[in-house]
Amino acid sequence: MIDEMAFNYWLLSAKTPTIRYLTQTKVLQFAKSDPLVKAAKDEIMTTGPVPEILKMQSVEGNWPNEHSYYTPKYTSTHWTLMLLTELEVDGRDPDFRRGVDFMLNDTSTSVKNHLTANNFDLACLWGNLLRYAVHGGRLDDPRTQAIVTFLVRSVQNNGCQCEHNGALPCAWGVVRALWGLAGIPAGDRSPAVEQALQQGVEFLLDRFSLVEADYPVGEKSKIHPLWFRLNFPLFYQADILFTLRVLAELDALDHRGTAMALDWLELRRKGNGRWRGSSPFRLRTWDALGDRSETDRWVSLQAAAILQQAGRLQLAVPV
């Protein structure tokens, strides 16, 4: 029998403040007014990877030694803002917002050109950008709204068809588009956004299967092996765990298409209650993320939160 109390304490012993904060709020469901929650939330901005990464930022808002906002992978500006969002950076932080504005300025012409040309490739890029733009309080910015329009049309364009997937619908693109659109508060979602979210979920769960991974791929290609690992962090990629995280945000875990994936996730829990994580880009991103044990904690808290929301796990709350 798994010692759930020991599992909880293991998560709460993380060096990374974000892991402790998310364990308290998403796994143990502490109130955000709880002093322990407030302390962990405050600590995100003062110790650990977030302040370490932010202190490297230039006065212009980007990160130095990059060839473009997209390269090198995964320390240039786009990827860094994605990672900071995953780390629960305070979206009101002026440095973070400076980075978001840098990206919106640098990409606004490209978004307009794509919309004019009806070119809806690279939904993964724009979904990720939308996620951190919304996190940074820029939802109402016209530059952000153009990205929302792009993503809605990309999902409607037969599942985010992309030249990098042989001009076929792209599962990674759909997942990342949904991640961006799911970041929009429910009360601020237009009917078009709601429709795109529904279409994206139908693509992932009705037309195809998360576990069978029978999504379209280019000629002589196959589903990437990352799909079947428990990864953190990922960047433009997706896996079953990340997809379930997005579906959880959309309250879609009760969809019949998630059952096999939830079974799959349950079966990967070890006897000690933990899940074994993978960090495929550890050597290519910021080293402030911590060691392999922190990777295990990241995927374990994500898996536990998903299974708890799905009604498959009941974690004891430490006293």
In a domain, 317, yes or no: no
Confidence of residue 222 (pLDDT cuts 50, 70, 90): confident
Give me the pLDDT at residue 318, please: 46
Residue type at position 171: A
The number of C-alpha atoms within 13 Å of 24 and in the hemisphere containing its C-beta is 22
How many whole angstroms separate alpha carbon 121 and alpha carbon 197?
18
How many whole angstroms separate alpha carbon 196 and alpha carbon 193?
5
The number of C-alpha atoms within 13 Å of 282 and in the hemisphere containing its C-beta is 14
In a domain, 220, yes or no: yes
Confidence of residue 114 (pLDDT cuts 50, 70, 90): very high
Does this model's pTM top 0.95? My answer is yes
In a domain, 179, yes or no: yes
Give me the pLDDT at residue 319, please: 47
Cis omega (within 30 of 0) for bond into 17: no
Interval 45-95: pLDDT, tens: 999 999 999 999 999 999 999 999 999 999 999 999 999 999 999 999 999
How many whole angstroms separate alpha carbon 203 and alpha carbon 220?
22
Interval 138-196: pLDDT, tens: 999 999 999 999 999 999 988 999 999 999 999 999 999 999 999 999 999 999 999 99
In a domain, 314, yes or no: no
Give me the pLDDT at residue 1, please: 82
In a domain, 215, yes or no: yes
Could you give the number of structural domains in the chain? 1
CATH of the domain at 19: 1.50.10
Q: In whole angstroms, what separates CA 270 from the centre of its chain?
A: 24
Residue span of the structural domain in which 14 resides = 4-309
Task: For the beta carbon of residue 139, count every other beta carbon within 10 angstroms.
Answer: 16
Instruction: Return the residue matching tokens 């392999």.
Output: 292
In a domain, 318, yes or no: no
